[in-house]
Structure 1
Amino acid sequence: MTAIPHENVLRWLAGIGRRIATSLGKRPNIALESLILLVSAYFVAVTNTAFWKALSATGVLEGSRGLALVPSLAVAIMGFHAAVLAAFLNRWIAKPALTILMVLTAAVAFFADSYGVHMDQSMIRNMLKTDASEAAELFTPGLLGYVFVFGIIPTIAIWRTRLIVVPWRRAAFRRITFIMSMLALTLTAVLATFNDLSPLMRNHKALRYLIAPGNYIVSTAREIERQRRPKKNALHVVAPDAAQVAHAPGSKPHLLVIVVGETVRAKNWGLSGYARQTTPQLASLDVINFQDVTACGSNTEVSVPCMFSPFGRRSYDQDRITSSESLLHVLERAGVRTLWRDNQTGCKGVCDGLAFESYREPRKDDHCDSQACRDAVMLDGLHDAIDDNPGDVVVVLHQLGNHGPSYFKRYADQFRRFVPDCRSADLGSCSRQEIINAYDNAILATDDFLAQAIRMLADDASHDTAMIYISDHGESLGEANVYLHGLPYAIAPDTQIKVPLTAWLSEGMVESNGIDVSCVEARSRMHASHDNLFHSVLGLMQIQTNAYERDQDLFADCQRPPSSGRAGLGPSEKQRPTD
């Protein structure tokens, strides 16, 4: 082989360098419609991998007809996005708008790929209500790297283009023609495989919430429209006839603590048969654990208002629930003082206009660090907060609990029993077992918190006391490659909607309500749900109202004539709440 002269090699390399430099210095001219089409194609091919994986998991892609569905769907999704973008973008705002869209879509794709997050309206509502501290935990290296590669780099390419300038009449004609062409292309692609596509979208409706960026754009628009609807100046009155049955002379007032847990699933709850004992302290106390409990929602924004409403999941109507009074308003009207202590992002409207204390901001306390406080801080000074009230009191403690993905931040070192545990908010950097270990350690911290609350109530000599603990929703920990929570309720797995419910009753509360504890323990093996909370609390606090449903009260069928001789709670024949 003849050797290439040294100077020829240098000249050859220099030529390559000049060509690369010239290429990098060029800014290609491109029509806006062409840019929109390229961006739309990029979305379909690159930032929708979660959708394509979920589609494949349905089994519809098997066989020749299934394979034909892929190009048809790809063309339909691309055409639809291109038509919508072309309808709103012009030469002056195109690049800034596409920059925002690229970055947001990359972020949405990260959470869809990594955690199986579906961007439906409920998820958008959660995001809008997230505070700065909670949001900061989501900005992990994994997210930032993903956004840089799939959002920032393509955006740089967009900014390097020069948009071709054409006279406005020609531009308008071209734009209308482009939009009509894209809509026609979309319709043609849909009709080509309609027989397969129609049942797919009917039976797997949640797939649409994985198609980015359309998923979060449409869901955001719907949520904004919902929030802009005229709101009533006052909440719709629930149970206007609510009145408390008088206690027997000489009896003590009632104190009920309702602990609203965060993101604890029944599957990992020690009292419910989990292989690990994640509730050792509760197991040593005289508690009643309900074995089969279904949450009203798969996220806090849905579940918390729902569980404090008389309408519940069986009559679920979000607007009706959020525009109506809650259980706490009914209790206040009947003469029971209420207090909401919060270590989360608020009471979600449940305590509007009522006593509220937030522990979300870090403070000088042994339970707090520079970023947040652990739940035990809500027990500090609790008796001082209610001692000036001579009557009955209901206190709600809203936990930070097992809120992810930073499970490791929810427990002190003394509860770091299951190791190695994931010590990062970027779950992708940990093994699934490390994530489960951290999650279980956080349950140990909740177990300790509840045990402290029970001991405090047991030492209370001035009240007949009780505690009800119920988690707002569960959590996925890698089952079917899904993490966190918030899937649309119709497809949410049991890990996200099956939750623990545990009650503790003092001897005084048992006696004053005439409760047969062994009967309640038998009842605990039957199905229960968030819908039971409203009526069970009315029963325990001896509130008489037509809104009370005896068959929804977890304790009602286990009541015997009490020694105090109190009156009955209300009409047992009532089957539906009235307002």
Structure 2
Amino acid sequence: MSAVGSARPTFPAVAGPILAAWRGPWRRLGVSLGSEQLALLASLYFAAAFNLPFFSAAIDSGGLQGSDGWIAGVGLFVAIVALHFILLGMLFTRWTAKPVLIALLLSGALATHFMRDYTVYFDTDMIRNILHTDGAESGELVTSSLLPDLLLRGLLPALLVLRVRIRRRTWRRSLLIRAGSIALAVLLAAGAILVSFQTTSSLMRNHRELRHLITPGNYLVSLVRVAVEDHRDPEGPRTPVGRQARVVGRPAGAKPRLLVLVVGETVRARNWGLNGYARDTTPALRRIDPVNFGNVTACGSNTEVSLPCMFSNIGRADYDKRRIENSESLLHVLEHAGIATHWFDNQSGCKGVCESLAYTSLAHADDPQLCDGDHCLDGILMGGLDAALAGGDADQVVVLHMLGNHGPAYFKRYPPDARAYLPDCTSEELVRCNRSQIVNAYDNAIRYTDAVLAGLIARLQADATHDTALVYLSDHGESLGEDGVYLHGLPYAIAPKVQTRVPMVMWFSPGLVASRGLDVGCLRRRAIKPASHDNLFSSVLGLMQVTTPEYDPGLDLFRGCVRASG
């Protein structure tokens, strides 16, 4: 057969007529609208398609009950339309209207999916979590259930927007129409709220978190606030903390001390075996019998808040995000006192806690048994401990930052041979699993954390060159479907206790108990009482015998359980 005879039609020859046939009627669908008309249609669509989680939460709160409830609901709908019209009115021009609207349609579809399926509130802390989450963790949230929402709520309306022609007007006429439209929207929003002011104001005052469900205004406002707060002109170096710190009362001739701080991820107190959970999720630690603190409150419901807070002397009661971020941390105080620190990370960084200090990421280590290219199991942190034990004869505090129970892919946080509870959820889409399967996967991940902690303690027990201690403390908890809530990061004021109650355990070598004069029985009695992240700063300083004006004896968990040494 000749080359000519075997020639096949080219792609343009085949696809050209098809595309031409499709473009014809598609072009006829195009309409001509003014920017204000497009903004009004978009605002109506936002209120109807993106704000179902808001109205559902408002109804569930009981704030729309009573004879005025339906009036308040209609008023809120009109107010949401008007407020988004005002927002779009400030963003839309003849050149920006279509790209801005398409971006909002796509992002709003994504936001609605996560609000509906995971009960996410898009406040500033959640936006920071999103911006600071690494690609591998974010990829676990991109699942097949996301595609229908993105297609139906976002992509299809975006295609329609492409067919819109924005009318041209003189700038004077445009300015007049825009100003009048925004003024009318302001009056309409005010009127809609005033119609049932008592009901509406009571709802929004008693349930302030609901504003973080009004989409897309929620994430736009939060994104602007984060940009303003996080990108202000730099104020210079961090505020010094503990520059006068020094070690006092260290016994002469004692072995060098090594304190290992293990920071857990997303482990909640309710599922911690040592806390009396129905399942023994901590069998290895139970055999070791560490000091277990059963009532510990986290500083935040997400890592971005909790991690800097727990290493700060400011704490939750006087929480000030900017002040904490601009101040030196516990690790800096230890360095000022002459105690070496090193942060070994199997997650997304130290969130500024170890800035300018020794830091090593193990999250993408080359270990075929523990790493898959995207994540490493927490057993990889044993390498950080080994490095610390070989680090000389000076006192050290080493932080091991776990990946722990980071969701939604709990099944990726433990090896296949650690599947103690079956059937476990092996999907990143929690909606595809029943609650029992989700809890099984979550508990399996805790059992692996238990095994890792026991392995670290065994390594410390085998070391004869240091007096050693290990403190494990999770950064925050997790929701596993209670009341329809999943994952974590709800605003602290409304976060359920499963997101803010965390486990904490302590283990000490006999050498440290002796050299520090530690009364472990006394400490066990203290462990029955409430504690919090606020205790970490002063407790570590107290254990390491660091004196500094920032030390608060009232927050030192060891105070009263050690004898004076000299």
Partner of 2:101: 98
Q: How many residues align structurally?
A: 545
Tell me if the contact between 1:466 and 1:506 (Cα under 8 Å) persists in the aligned partners: yes
Pairwise CA RMSD: 1.6
- 1:189 paired with 2:192, answer yes
Q: Kindly indicate whether the alpha-carbon contact (under 8 Å) linking 1:107 and 1:147 is maintained by their aligned counterparts in 2.
A: yes
Q: Distance in 2 between matches of 1:86 and 1:381?
A: 54
Following superposition of structure 1 onto structure 2, how do residues 373-384 of structure 1 map, counting pairs within 5 Å?
373-380=376-383, 382-384=385-387
Residues in 2 aligned to 1:43 and 1:185: alpha-carbon distance in whole angstroms: 17
> What CA deviation, in whole Å up to 9, does each residue of 1:29-77 have, x standing for no partner?
2222121111111111111111111101111222221111110000001
- 1:388 is displaced (CA, Å) by 3.5
Structure 2 residue aligned with 1:569: none
Instruction: Find the counterpart in structure 1 of residue 123 from structure 2.
Output: 120
Secondary structure of the structure 1 residue equivalent to 2:428: coil
Inter-partner Cα distance in structure 1 for 2:291 and 2:307: 22
Shift of 1:158: 1.4
Correspondence 1:547 to 2:550: yes
After the TM superposition, list the runs of 4 or more consecutive aligned residues in structure 1 that deviate by more than 6 angstroms.
none
Q: Which runs of 5+ in 2 are unaligned?
A: 1-20
Q: Which amino acid aligns with 1:192?
A: V
Are residue 315 (structure 1) and residue 318 (structure 2) matched? yes
Alignment of structure 1 residues 36-435 onto 2, 5 Å: 36-380=39-383, 382-435=385-438
Whether the 8 Å contact between 2:64 and 2:199 is mirrored in structure 1 is no
**Aligned counterparts of 1:22 and 1:302: Cα–Cα separation in 2:** 53
**Alpha-carbon shift at residue 362 of structure 1 (Å):** 4.2
CA 1:437–1:164 in structure 2 vs 1: closer, same or farther (change >3 Å)? Answer: same
Q: Deviations over 1:195-233 (max 9, x none)?
A: 112222111110000111111001110110011222232
User: Deviation digits for residues 306-335 of structure 1, max 9, x if unmatched?
Assistant: 000111112211111111110000001101
**How much identity, in percent, do the aligned residues show?**
49
Deviations 1:12-34 (A, max 9, x none): xxxxxx9xx96883322222212
Say if 1:253 and 1:464, in contact at 8 Å, map to a contact too: yes
Superposed CA deviations along residues 340-370 of structure 1, whole A, max 9, x for unmatched, are 0001110011101111000122423421112
Partner of 2:536: 533
Moved more, 395-404 or 354-363: 354-363
- Mapped partners of 1:404, 1:250: distance in 2: 47
TM-score normalised by L of structure 2: 0.94
Deviations 1:350-397 (A, max 9, x none): 101111000122423421112211111111263334423211111100
* Offset, 1:239: 1.7
Gaps of 5+ in 1: 1-17, 567-579
- Paired position in structure 2 for 1:512: 515
* In 2: Cα distance, 1:496 partner to 1:62 partner: 29
TM-score for the superposition, normalised by structure 1: 0.92
CA distance in 1, matches of 2:45, 2:366: 47
* 2:452 is the alignment partner of 1:478: no
Residue 250 of structure 1 aligns to which amino acid in structure 2? G
Pair 47,362 (structure 1): closer, same or farther in 2 beyond 3 Å:
farther
Aligned residue number for residue 439 of structure 1: 442
Once residues 449 and 96 of structure 1 are traced to their aligned partners in structure 2, the CA distance between those partners, rounded to angstroms, is: 49
**Is the Cα contact below 8 Å between 1:55 and 1:207 reproduced in 2?**
yes
The one-letter amino acid of 1:273's match is G
Q: Deviations over 1:406-450 (max 9, x none)?
A: 111100012111111111111111111111111111111100110
CA, structure 1 residues 324+459, in 2 after alignment: closer, same or farther (shift >3 Å)? same
Distance (Å, rounded) in 1 between the aligned partners of 2:336 and 2:170: 68
Cα distance in 2 for partners of 1:370, 1:356 equals 21
Does the residue aligned with 2:145 lie in a helix, a strand or coil? helix
In structure 1, how many angstroms separate the alpha carbons of the residues matched to 2:325 and 2:340? 21
Q: What is the rounded CA distance, in whole Å, between the counterparts of 1:475 and 1:246 in structure 2? A: 41
Q: Is the 8 A contact 1:362 1:369 kept in 2?
A: no
The aligned counterpart of 2:4 is: none
Of 546-555 and 471-480, the range deviating more from structure 2:
546-555
